[in-house]
Every structure is written in structure tokens, then in C-alpha cells.
Structure 1
Amino acid sequence: MTPTTDDARKGLSDASDAKGLEALISRAARAGKGAAPVDRWNPDFCGDLDMEIKRDGTWFYLGTPIGRMPLVQLFSSVLRKDEDGKTYLVTPVEKVGIRVEDAHFIAVEVNAAGSGAEQVLTFRTNVGDVVEAGPDHPLRFVDEDETDGLKPYLLVRGRLEALVSRAVMYELAELGEEIDVDGIVMFAVRSKGAVFPVMPADQLRRLSE
């Protein structure tokens, strides 16, 4: 029998115990394997869940790390970030809010194929997504002096992003080149015909001195 909205609200109200979490897991599993069509679902908001994705990509539930990767992958398949800037787990019958400390995923591996304008950068995330950077999956670079300095992000799907790990960022730096972008020489990387500026080339040279 398909769960009703009342069932979803009851499941969330019981989410502090194992049965409530199991109910959410069951409904997420029925949404299907792989990334679910969450953008097509418009269920009622049922409240916030004590679940958080930490900066290093670890998922926590009730303050405890979720150690089962298949479970993390299941939850990640029903993630959605809405226009309000908040992240939710979405099934056909419920939408519950979770917290995200930085990004939704971590890009843990990159493979470069081809060169120049023909280069394609393919990333793998910590939950198994494989994404080719390009016009539909852009890279952006944020310089945050108050945190970890230069931080690259890859758009995975919808509004969900992966923070590129430090080791992978060093690999990207090796693939970078100086490219004229709107009259400014930028240190940038290419993928699938798109150019993703990192920083002005003269700024990089000053940092290297």
C-alpha cells in the first residue's frame, strides 16, 4: 500500500528511533536506484531531520556517523537543494530537511582525456557519481581566506555540488593553462569545450614567487 502524507508525517515524528529511520529508508528505496527524479516530486514538507553532511562528506544521523555506504548512497539518490538554499531528502510522499556543512558530495578522483579544447575531465564522487565537467556540469572556484583558501566545486545535478578534494585540486592545477578570457589572461582548466577560470594568471605568478 502506498504511504499517505499522514504516514510520512508519522514516520518523521518517529525518526528519533530506528523504526522511523527504517521507514524513511524504505520509502527512499522504493523511489528507485540511482538518482531519483526528485525535481518532479512535490510532496508536503514534513519538518527537519537530525541528519547532516559534514565538510569531509561524512553523513551523520542523530550525531552518529552513518557507516554503511549503501545507505549513504541511497539517501544521496533522493537529495534535492531547493531555491530557498536548503537541502532536503525527497520521496514521492515526503520532504524532510537536513543540514549540509559545505557541499553535498566530495569529488575524490579525476581523469583527464584528450588535450586542449578537446580535453574532458571526468570526476568520481565519494558516493559513486561519475560526472564529466562541462557546460552542463561547470566547475567554480571560490577563494575563502577565512577557511581553506581556494576551493573548487563541481555541479553534479540540480543544485547539488561536490567539493573537489585537496588531492584532486592539485591534479587540476597540473592540468591548468593560461587562457585569455574576455581580455584577461586567466589560469584556467578546460573540459568539453568549456573554460573554467581559476584566477588571474598574474595573481598566480605572484603567489608562486
Structure 2
Amino acid sequence: MPYDPPPELAGLTLADVAELVAARKLPPLESWDPPAIEPSGIRIAADGSWYHDGSRITRAAMVRAFASLLRREADGTYWLVTPHYKQTIEVEDAAFIAVDMKVDDGALAFRLNTDDLVVAGPDNPLRASGDPQSPAIYLMVRHGCEARLDRSTWLDLAEHALSGQYDNAPLQVTSLNECFALVPA
């Protein structure tokens, strides 16, 4: 089955993004608790590259398929989950990378390195980590997994925050009526 990537984020309205997100059918990982557990040999590098047994996975369709089965548990472990197997996966930083951002109608929409679209808000909060001089910004994606904003997307977000900042106000953004600090506490 050929893959049709979504149109460029810049050309989409918030309604378009919401429609594309709703149309994406993801497996019901939250209802799967398979008894068989084993290692997968998969690692997600800090730059978002996927590896299997040390070799880079270069087929984007395979990465998208594996990413749709990814879940992070409360203890911080990552798993590829199917109805019959649960396989460990190593994640160096974040499971996804946010590579593009658009501001539209009071919302911040992000495109991930897997072509997923995520709108920041109550269900997908942004969080700042690291230190105030060099923060890392993360976006909750799904099933406990986050996306780290790449440098250009982080700069776009900071520019957006600065455009609405008042004197001496903390650096923050709002999306879907939720306010998110961009400086770690």
C-alpha cells in the first residue's frame, strides 16, 4: 500500500490538522497486555533515527509502523506492543522529534519525524526540561511517548513566545487555552 504523506503543515488550517489526526487509525495499545515479553533489538537514537541490531532502519514506512506500536510505561520503559508480544525498545531521549510547527487559531500544531500531526493542548502538553540557559522542549504525543522539538522548531516556538511576551513576563505559549512555560522550573 503506497504512503501518501499529509500536505505541508504551513498550508493546513487547525480544522484540517484536526481532521487528519482524527482520520489516523492507531492500534488500541492501551487494551493490549500480551504475556510474551522479549527484546526487540531496536533503539531510537537521540536524533530520532531508528536502529535494529545496530543497523539503521532506512525505510520510513517501517519506522512509522513501529512508531504506531510504541508505548512508554509509568516506570519509563519503552515497549513495542502487539496483541501477542511485548518487546523492549531502547530510547536515548524521546521517541519522536517535532520537526515543524504552525500557529493557527489559538493552537500550536506540530509535525513529527514520522509525519504524525499533534496539536499541543490539555491531552498533548508541552514541557520544558534541562536548564534555563539551554532548555529542551518536549511534546506529549501518545501512550506516554514524547517528541523533542528539534532546534529549528524550538526556535520557531521561542520566536512565537517572544512575539506575545510582556515585559518581565515568563516565556510561555498558549495552545487550545492551555499555557505552557518554555523555561524549566
TM-score (norm 1): 0.71
Give the aligned partner of residue 85 of structure 1: 76
Q: Aligned partner of 1:163: which letter?
A: R
Query: Contact 1:41–1:92 at 8 Å: present in 2 too?
Result: yes
Query: Contact 2:70–2:80 at 8 Å: present in 1 too?
Result: yes
* Mapping 1:90-101, distance limit 5 Å: 90-101=81-92
More helix by share: 1
State the Cα distance separating 1:77 from its structure 2 match.
0.6
Residue 190 (str. 1) matches residue 177 (str. 2):
no
Q: Which runs of 5+ in 1 are unaligned?
A: 1-32, 201-209
Q: Deviations over 1:138-174 (max 9, x none)?
A: 00011248xx921100001121100011000000011
Greater C-alpha radius of gyration? 1
Residue 54 (str. 1) matches residue 39 (str. 2):
no
Q: Which runs of 5+ in 2 are unaligned?
A: 1-23
Give the aligned partner of residue 8 of structure 1: none
Q: 1:123 aligns with which of 107, 110, 128?
A: 110
Query: Contact 1:179–1:187 at 8 Å: present in 2 too?
Result: no
Q: Which has the higher contact order (CA 8 A, sep 6+)?
A: 2
TM-score (norm 2): 0.80
Count of aligned positions:
159
State the Cα distance separating 1:48 from its structure 2 match.
1.6
State the Cα distance separating 1:34 from its structure 2 match.
4.2
State the Cα distance separating 1:44 from its structure 2 match.
1.4
Q: 2:151 aligns with which of 152, 155, 166?
A: 166
Work out the CA distance in 2 between the residues paired with 1:41 and 1:47.
15
Aligned partner of residue 75 in structure 1, secondary structure: helix
Q: Aligned partner of 2:89: which letter?
A: I
Q: 1:67 aligns with which of 53, 58, 61?
A: 58
What is the root-mean-square deviation in Å for CA atoms of aligned residues?
A: 2.1
Work out the CA distance in 1 between the residues paired with 2:76 and 2:123.
20
